[in-house]
Amino acid sequence: MVRKWAFRAVLGYLLLGLFLYVYLFILADSSLPDSFKGSSADPATFMNAREIMLSEEFSKIKNLLFFLSTPYEWLFYFLILILGVSRGFEKWARGTAKNQFIQTAVYLFWLSLASFIAIFPLQFISYKISRTYNISTQNFSMWMKDELTDFWVNYLIMFIIVSVLYGLMKKFKNRWWLAAWALSVPFTIFMMFIQPVVIDPLYNDFYPLKDKALEQKILTLADKAEIPADHVFEVDMSEKTNSLNAYVNGVGSNSRIVLWDTTLEQLTDKEILFVMAHEMAHYVEKHIYIGIAIYLVLSFFGLFLASKLMRGIVANYKDDIKVSSVSSLSSLPLFLLLTSMLMFAVSPFSNWISRYQETRADRYAIEMTEDKQAAITSFQKLSKVGLSQVNPPILVKIFRYGHPTMMERLIMLEQYEQEEKE
């Protein structure tokens, strides 16, 4: 039975990969509609033929890796369950110490290490592709350092979550999901609070913006948007990537306005001000808090469904998946598998909400800066530097895009100009 399940799971994954390849490289249409040819959304107006070709190639490969990575994670969790690897990790942990927290730490270390090793090939392929297409500028040692930092940061966060979660499972046999949901709210807010000042500096060095004239212009925008900020931070990302980015993150007094040095190098001051106005819009329109509210609703139902599914699966298939009870540590891959699948299933909805908020932010930025041309050229440069498709296939947009497509953003700007003229 185990061999049959493992064979079917691997075969299913390979067939899915074949379907995705055929869809992305043969069937999907990413060409620009004829009605938009010659407009600001037409790649031919801001890219040369080679850049257009590279953007199509790079986007197709990255999209394929995206769609392969999540099911690959599901396959990994499924196989270590049915092959008894997770049960072996739990026995190892119980044989190491009697203390429950130490047992959790040991079990989670081996599970995290196995996951890291299993997923590493896909991560490395993604890194090499980004290097080949000149998106990433990291050498291997620097990239590996970030990967190892990721491992330990995620391990520490997961240790806290798993220790609390499985403690609740033991204490509240049927209602653990509700207690876990209630505790997830302050934990999420706490993580958002410490992200800018504790976690982000582990990966990059942040320092005040050197261009004080530009900083003053940005702070003037921030003051107009009523964002409590005394400094604009610059981060040295050029040693890692050629991509462009800027953001406002954190909550309360820990809010930070951040610009990548690549953005400073490749965008004009007017374009930077538009990008920053867009990021400030998320703060002004309370998108962070709306996101938290949506997360609360989705996580409530997600944890409820996960608890019901775990109980049913363990009750009916505990011998097959080598899990004695829901509250045993060996059930963690099952929990991660189910929550990952539920998150993927709801991603079209969450991405739709995100795209709506991003459109609102675009409009806010135009109104604040009153510079539509800077908006258009900034989007064109973002697309060009990132080698992103202007009009990605529909499945890519639905499952991957938390932002409107570049075609949608640029056409919106042109239509906004027409509305203003009328």
Q: Which residues are catalytic?
A: 279, 362
Q: What residues are paired with 247 via a beta bridge?
A: 258
Selection from 24, 119, 386 nearest residue 241 by Cα? 386
User: What are the structure tokens assigned to 201, written together?
Assistant: 């500096």
Contacts of 344 by beta carbon, 8 Å cutoff, 6+ apart: 70, 399
DSSP state of 33: P
Q: Does 287 appear as a known binding residue?
A: no
Extract the runs of DSSP E, i.e. beta strands, from 209-295.
232-235, 246-249, 256-260
Pairing of strands 246-249, 206-208: unpaired
Which DSSP state fits 361? H
Contact 181, 299 (CB under 8 A): yes
Task: For residue 210, give the nearest of 250, 264, 267 by alpha carbon.
Answer: 264
The distance from CA 172 to its chain's CA centroid, rounded to whole angstroms, is 32
Which pair of tokens denotes residue 387? Answer: 């080698």
Q: Do the beta carbons of residue 85 and residue 114 sit within 8 Å?
A: yes
Half-sphere exposure of 7 (CA within 13 A, CB side): 4
Contact in structure between 24 and 66 (CB atoms under 8 Å): no
Query: What is the CB neighbour count within 10 angstroms for residue 341?
Result: 18
Closest by Cα among 233, 301, 237 to 266: 237
Q: Write the DSSP symbol of residue 136.
A: B
Is residue 358 annotated as involved in ligand binding?
yes
Is 403 marked as a binding-site residue?
A: no
Angstrom distance (rounded) from CA 201 to CA 40 = 37
Report whether 86 contacts 333 (CB < 8 A): yes
DSSP-derived pairing of the beta strands 246-249 and 232-235: unpaired
Residues of each annotated binding site for Zn(2+): 278, 282, 358
Residues of each annotated binding site: 278, 282, 358
